[in-house]
């Protein structure tokens, strides 16, 4: 079975390289090769799928002849975790990456076969070149990351080393796959942009065709980032969900130009502007996806969170990122004349302007995050010493820009195109503005002594944006009820169907509002570290009390350790029994603290058993995180909004097809 996988991946590499050549030939005028290129995409996909299947088979059947299986799984692991061991190490996770990207590539070849016939050979070439790179990384023995490498017969053991216990968590079953579905998916719009530039076909047909192809990976990337934060919160036990770690930043950086693109592409559709800029954004997004992968795997940012790989792996990867990015931007530069638009920005008070501003803010945040993440590398190059940057840098600098974005989220969708008249401004913003102002007063009064700038800013802006969304829905539903005589629910359903992007987008914005409110609660985080004997009570602010009851041994199969029981009271009212654990995983010889969390809409109580001391006392860390659950609620709202935007409505699909011009045969 390992042999099948090994040879399948080599054949996949050959198919990919052949497809690149066919795609280039087909795109350069020898159209008979276009079909070959398409088939090469499918062939590469199938062969890679065989490779993935073979590795999964070895993992599930615990074939410890393979070094990869031995290093990342164990007999004690259940089926889901044996499957997830596929992405437990370098070679397997790269294989997962290329596999998902080929799913996207094959889907693109199938779904866009009629509408983009001229572009498809170039798209195939780009996507297959991408796949070939990753397959080569896996296949070439020099880099030593092929998951099908066998252990020397004398070293084969009857059990494996097991998976890092921190990864044996349900969220880790989906977070990597979802994240990769985000990263790899951006290769499709990237390839289409490249193809459009290459063939110098500057119609916007491809833009509309690829909009869905950008929305889908953008959705997965957003979910992947949130899932990672939730995993960190539940498992890592430091009470937080985001530390601006280089690995975290690597996933966040592509999200910024991708979101900017989703907005500025609307400008291109409606006003035929920002065409060059949109190309820049697509190129930037995918380049950052690749760059982020490089950052995470190459060890160039050495913190205790990243992991090192073979020495020149980093250089090879960085070289590929540079080639991809440079190739794209050089091509864009050479075609810039044909992308110039006739239209100009007419007024600062216009929807175009607010979208442009929104793009500026996203770029500013990107610069901040990139600079902070890369600073150790740059400082080592310039000064010879590695200077690292802590989370305060990112928090302090991105705060004002996040507030600016929130403001624009309310203003942008409502302000008129081209030039907003004072009448239209008044009509649109009086009510939301008053709501925002009232929120300022309300928060200032509610906070009292605990007054802090950011909570007031974010809550009042959040109220403002929510009011704009409510107003939009209210007016639109009201208009349909009056004009078409529909009931409330029918009107709502019609709106969500007829103008998915707008009304689904509003729901997504609402999700962002919730997320930012959830983050702003961290201004009021409370933490305590206490050492208590059984029966003693810890008093917290606002009348909360934790009484340490007892600790028991944890006699589980895969881990040992202890669980402490603490009773949470508000005054004299019992609320919950918190059960934080301190585990030691037998096989991996690794300790882990599992927090006990009590969640309400208002706050989280988060308790960690730091240690059971030799004298029988327990050292306990308690976090009180206000509003943190609004982040996850925002995530669910986000999903709802994305579903509305992406939902394929049968009755509109045929309309859409009719609108999409056919290319001349």
Partner 1 sequence: MSKGLQIAFGALVVAGLLGWYAATNLEKIGTFQYYQSLAEFRAANAEGKAVRVHGYVAPGSIERDLANRQLRFQVVNEPPHEAASAEPMPVLYGTLETPDMFQDGAEVVLEGRMASGAVFVADNVMAKCPSKFEAKTAERAPF
d(CA 296, CA 337): 37
**Sign of the C-alpha dihedral, residues 188, 194, 196, 198?**
negative
The nearer residue to partner 1, 119 or 250, going by C-beta atoms, is 250
Among 120, 262, 608, 612, binds partner 1 (CB under 8 A): 608
Nearest residue (CB) to partner 1, 251 versus 285? 251
- Within positions 614 to 643, which residues make up the interface with partner 1, using CB under 8 A? 615, 617, 619, 621
Stretch 366-385: interaction string toward partner 1, x if CB under 8 A = -xx------xx--------x
Burial class (CB in 10 A: 0-12, 13-18, 19+), 313: buried
Q: Which of 288, 305, 302, 313 is nearest to 247 (CA)?
A: 305
Spatial separation of the C-alpha atoms in residues 2 and 8, rounded to whole Å: 10
Question: What is the Cα–Cα distance from 197 to 278, expressed in whole angstroms?
Answer: 12
Among 75, 113, 396, 556, binds partner 1 (CB under 8 A): 396
Query: How many of the chain's residues bind partner 1 (CB under 8 A)?
Result: 53
Q: How far is the CB of 371 from partner 1 (least distance, A)?
A: 8
Query: CB neighbours of 467 closer than 8 A, spacing ≥ 6?
Result: 410, 431, 432, 435, 436
- Written as six digits, the tokens of 474 are 């209210």
CA distance 149 to 89: 13
Shortest gap between Cβ of 93 and partner 1 (angstroms)? 5
**Minimum CB separation from partner 1 for residue 167, in Å?**
7
What is the per-residue binding string for partner 1 in 70-99, x denoting contact by CB under 8 A?
-xx--------------xxxx--x------
Distance between CA atoms of residues 566 and 553, nearest Å: 15
Helices (H), 114-245: 120-139, 170-185, 187-199, 205-231
Among 329, 393, 454, 473, binds partner 1 (CB under 8 A): 393
525 binds partner 1 (CB under 8 A): no
Q: Which of residues 276-295 bind partner 1 (CB under 8 A)?
A: 293
Contact region with partner 1 (CB under 8 A), list: 19-27, 125-133, 359-367, 443-451: 359-367
Residue among 31, 388, 487, 550 that touches partner 1 (CB under 8 A): 388
Q: Does 613 bind partner 1 (CB under 8 A)?
A: yes
Separation of alpha carbons 658 and 665, rounded Å: 17
Distance CA 84, CA 311 (A): 27
Residues 123-152 interacting with partner 1 (rule: CB under 8 A): none
DSSP assignments along 47-93, one per residue: HHHHHHHHHHHHHHTT-TTBHHHHHH--TTS-HHHHHHGGGSSHHHH
Q: What minimum distance in Å lies between the beta carbon of 611 and partner 1?
A: 7
397 binds partner 1 (CB under 8 A): yes
Among 360, 370, 524, 586, binds partner 1 (CB under 8 A): 360
**CA 587, 588, 591, 593 torsion-angle sign:** negative
Q: Interface with partner 1 by CB under 8 A: which residues?
A: 67, 71-72, 87-90, 93, 161, 164, 167, 176, 237, 247, 293, 296-297, 302-307, 360, 364, 367-368, 375-376, 385-390, 392-393, 396-397, 529, 531, 590-593, 608, 610-611, 613, 615, 617, 619, 621
């Amino acid at each position: 079975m390992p042999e099948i996988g090994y040879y399948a991946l080599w054949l996949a590499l050959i198919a990919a390289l052949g497809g690149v050549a066919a795609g280039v030939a087909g795109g350069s005028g020898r159209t008979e090769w276009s079909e070959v290129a398409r088939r090469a995409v499918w062939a590469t996909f199938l062969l890679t799928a065989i490779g993935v299947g073979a590795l999964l088979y070895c993992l599930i059947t615990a074939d410890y002849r393979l070094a990869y299986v031995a290093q990342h799984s164990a007999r004690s692991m259940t089926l889901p975790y044996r499957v997830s061991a596929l992405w437990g190490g370098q070679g397997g996770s790269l294989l997962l990456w290329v596999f998902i990207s080929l799913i996207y590539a094959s889907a693109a070849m199938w779904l866009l076969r009629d509408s983009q016939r001229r572009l498809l050979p170039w798209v195939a070439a780009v996507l297959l070149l991408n796949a070939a790179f990753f397959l080569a990384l896996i296949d070439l023995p020099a880099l030593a990351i092929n998951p099908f490498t066998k252990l020397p017969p004398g070293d084969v053991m009857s059990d494996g080393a097991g998976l890092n216990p921190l990864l044996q968590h349900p969220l880790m079953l989906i977070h990597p796959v979802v994240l990769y579905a985000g990263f790899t998916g951006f290769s499709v719009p990237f390839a289409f942009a490249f193809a459009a530039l290459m063939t110098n076909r500057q119609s916007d047909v491809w833009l509309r065709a690829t909009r869905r192809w950008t929305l889908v990976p953008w959705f997965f990337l957003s979910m992947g980032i949130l899932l990672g934060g939730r995993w960190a919160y539940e498992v890592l036990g430091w009470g937080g969900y985001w530390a601006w770690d280089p690995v975290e930043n690597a996933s966040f950086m592509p999200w910024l130009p991708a979101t900017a693109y989703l907005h500025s592409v609307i400008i291109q559709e409606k006003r035929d502007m920002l065409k060059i800029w949109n190309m820049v954004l697509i190129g930037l997004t995918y380049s950052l996806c690749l760059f982020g992968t490089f950052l995470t795997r190459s060890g160039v940012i050495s913190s205790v969170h990243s992991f090192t790989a073979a020495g020149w792996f980093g250089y090879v990867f960085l070289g590929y990122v540079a080639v991809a990015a440079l190739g794209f931007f050089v091509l864009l530069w050479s075609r810039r004349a044909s992308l110039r638009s006739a239209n100009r920005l007419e007024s600062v008070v216009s929807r175009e302007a607010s979208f442009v501003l929104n793009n500026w803010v996203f770029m500013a945040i990107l610069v901040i995050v990139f600079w902070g993440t890369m600073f150790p590398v740059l400082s080592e190059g310039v000064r010879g010493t590695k200077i690292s940057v802590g989370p305060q840098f990112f928090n302090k600098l991105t705060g004002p820009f996040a507030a600016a974005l929130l403001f624009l989220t309310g203003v942008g969708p409502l302000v008129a195109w081209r030039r907003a008249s004072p009448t239209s401004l008044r009509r649109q913003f009086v009510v939301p503005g008053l709501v925002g102002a009232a929120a300022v007063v309300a928060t200032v009064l509610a906070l009292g002594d605990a007054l802090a700038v950011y909570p007031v800013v974010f809550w009042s802006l959040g109220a403002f944006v929510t009011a704009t969304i409510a107003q939009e829905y209210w007016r639109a539903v009201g208009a349909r009820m009056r004009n078409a005589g529909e009931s409330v629910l029918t009107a709502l359903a019609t709106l969500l169907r007829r103008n998915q992007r707008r009304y689904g987008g509003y729901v997504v914005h609402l999700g962002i509002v919730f997320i930012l409110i959830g983050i702003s609660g961290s201004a009021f985080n409370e933490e305590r570290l206490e050492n208590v004997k059984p029966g003693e009570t810890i008093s917290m602010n606002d009348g909360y009390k934790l009484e340490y009851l007892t600790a028991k041994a944890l006699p589980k199969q895969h881990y040992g350790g202890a669980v402490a029981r603490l009773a949470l009271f508000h005054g004299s009212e019992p609320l919950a029994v918190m059960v934080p654990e301190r585990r030691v995983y037998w096989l991996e010889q690794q300790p882990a603290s599992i927090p006990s969390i009590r969640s309400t809409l208002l706050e989280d109580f988060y308790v960690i058993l730091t240690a059971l001391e030799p004298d029988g006392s327990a050292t306990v860390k308690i976090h009180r995180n206000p509003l943190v659950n609004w982040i996850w609620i925002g995530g669910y709202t986000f999903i709802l909004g994305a579903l509305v935007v992406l939902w394929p409505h049968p009755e509109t699909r045929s309309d859409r097809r009719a609108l999409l011009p056919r290319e001349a045969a």
